[in-house]
């Protein structure tokens, strides 16, 4: 779908890869359409994974009268392919990634672009996820744990084994294209980490910014859904680690190491937030890493062929 007249000099491509997001997609897309960045300098590229719910109908209804150029593609062979569709069709100097379960404030794009213009050597800049309480304790814990994992210096060698993630990130389009874009062979998790490694190796910097966004990925989270999420992450990371051998030290993925990591993160977060709930993180970390490792072991039955 293409809405609006022909637009020249697009500066920002907003990329959204989504599937079965009917409960959150309306808020996500409306937050994009309400950006105070000049709409004639924006374009929106959506890749829908053949959603079986009302996601596509909601998208078409909300986008009907927008003045932002937009296109909807369909792809159901994994995140690597979906994100590469955005890269290959991007007309903007920058790509801002917004998931179907995110809400960005109206000045999000403007602030991220201003940051990139001030730091031309930065290839990828990740926004800051809001730490506002979620709708249940488990969801709040997951949001806090994700925030803790980003509290490192991405210019350091330690950051090589850490991932920024696409959601809430802004990419220099030419940096993504310089390294060949996303690996289409990475179907689940790891496609973001993989491109970050190659962008960094090409001489670009990776950083975090203070520009906040809301992430509802963990809204309504249950122990069952959390287990499933990290089992899948481990399963698909097996493919990623075939390509990037030695990136993760396996002893760090064992439950005792996860417990220690949870204690360290809880201490840092308590100093920041004064929330006692953070002291449950060590136990949540054990639960997640157990799911991850079982998924990882199951992933050995699959083969991986890189496809750039």
The answer to whether residues 13 and 94 touch, using CB atoms and an 8 Å cutoff, is: yes
pLDDT of residue 139: 78
Residue 245 CB burial class (10 angstroms; 0-12, 13-18, ≥19)? exposed
pLDDT-based confidence at 146, cuts 50/70/90? Answer: confident
Tokens coding 235: 């399963």
The answer to whether the beta carbons of residues 120 and 36 sit under 8 Å apart is: no
Q: Which of 259, 31, 44 is nearest to 127 (CA)?
A: 31
Calpha distance 212→168 (Å, rounded): 8
Give me the mean pLDDT over the 56-74 stretch: 94
Q: Identify which of 100-104, 183-187, 200-204, 257-261 has the greatest average pLDDT.
A: 200-204
Average pLDDT over residues 210-232: 80
CA 187, 192, 197, 199: dihedral to nearest 10 degrees? 120
Q: What is the mean pLDDT of the chain?
A: 85
Pinpoint the alpha helices (H) of the chain.
25-33, 55-63, 79-89, 108-118, 137-149, 173-178, 191-201, 223-243, 255-273, 281-298
Kindly list the distances between the CA atom of residue 122 and the CA atoms of 23, 24, 35, 152, 210, in Å, as whole numbers in the listed order.
34, 31, 23, 16, 15
The rounded distance, in Å, linking the Cα atoms of 308 and 188 is 15
Lowest mean pLDDT across 28-32, 90-94, 258-262: 258-262
- Is the pLDDT at 307 greater than 60, yes or no? no
The pairs formed by 178-181 with CB atoms below 8 angstroms and a separation of 24 or more are: 178/202, 180/308, 181/83, 181/84, 181/87, 181/88, 181/308
**Regarding predicted confidence, which is higher, 136 or 59?**
59
Of residues 49 and 1, the one with the higher pLDDT is 49
Mean pLDDT on 73-99: 94
Q: Are strands 69-74 and 12-18 parallel, antiparallel or unpaired?
A: unpaired
Q: Which domains can be identified in the chain, with CATH numbers?
A: 12-219 (3.90.550.10)
Query: What pLDDT score was predicted for residue 155?
Result: 60
First-to-last alpha carbon distance for the chain, in angstroms, is 26
> Is the separation of the CB atoms in 91 and 2 below 8 Å?
no
Q: Out of 22-31, 119-128, 180-189, 298-307, pick the least confident.
A: 298-307
Q: How confident is the model at residue 150 (pLDDT cuts 50, 70, 90)?
A: low
DSSP 217-264: TTTT--HHHHHHHHHHHHHHHHHHHHHSTTSS-GGGGSHHHHHHHHHH
Whether residue 69 contacts residue 3, with contact meaning beta carbons closer than 8 Å, is answered with: yes
């Amino acid at each position: 779908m293409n809405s609006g007249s022909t637009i020249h000099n697009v500066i920002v491509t907003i990329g959204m890869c989504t599937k079965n997001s009917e409960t959150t997609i309306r808020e996500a897309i409306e937050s994009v359409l309400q950006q105070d960045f000049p709409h004639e300098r924006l374009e929106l590229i959506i890749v829908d994974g053949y959603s079986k719910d009302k996601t596509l109908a909601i998208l078409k209804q909300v986008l009907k009268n927008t003045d932002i150029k937009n296109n909807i593609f369909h792809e159901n062979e994994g995140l690597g392919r979906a994100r590469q569709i955005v890269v290959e069709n991007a007309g903007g100097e920058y790509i801002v990634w917004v998931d179907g379960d995110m809400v960005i404030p109206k000045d999000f794009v403007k602030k991220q672009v201003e940051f990139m213009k001030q730091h031309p050597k930065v290839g990828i800049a990740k926004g800051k996820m809001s730490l506002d309480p979620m709708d249940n304790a488990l969801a709040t814990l997951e949001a806090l744990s994700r925030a803790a994992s980003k509290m490192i210096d991405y210019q350091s060698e330690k950051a090589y084994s850490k991932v920024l993630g696409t959601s809430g990130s802004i990419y220099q389009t030419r940096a993504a294209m310089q390294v060949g874009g996303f690996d289409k062979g990475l179907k689940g998790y790891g496609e973001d980490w993989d491109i970050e490694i190659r962008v960094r190796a090409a001489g670009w910097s990776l950083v975090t910014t203070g520009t906040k966004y809301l992430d509802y990925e963990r809204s309504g989270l249950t122990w069952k859904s959390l287990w499933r999420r990290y089992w899948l992450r481990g399963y698909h990371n097996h493919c990623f680690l075939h390509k990037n051998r030695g990136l993760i030290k396996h002893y760090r993925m064992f439950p005792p190491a996860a417990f220690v990591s949870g204690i360290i993160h809880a201490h840092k977060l308590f100093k920041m937030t004064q929330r006692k709930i953070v002291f449950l993180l060590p136990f949540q970390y054990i639960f997640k890493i157990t799911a991850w490792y079982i998924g990882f072991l199951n992933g050995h039955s699959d083969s991986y062929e890189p496809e750039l």
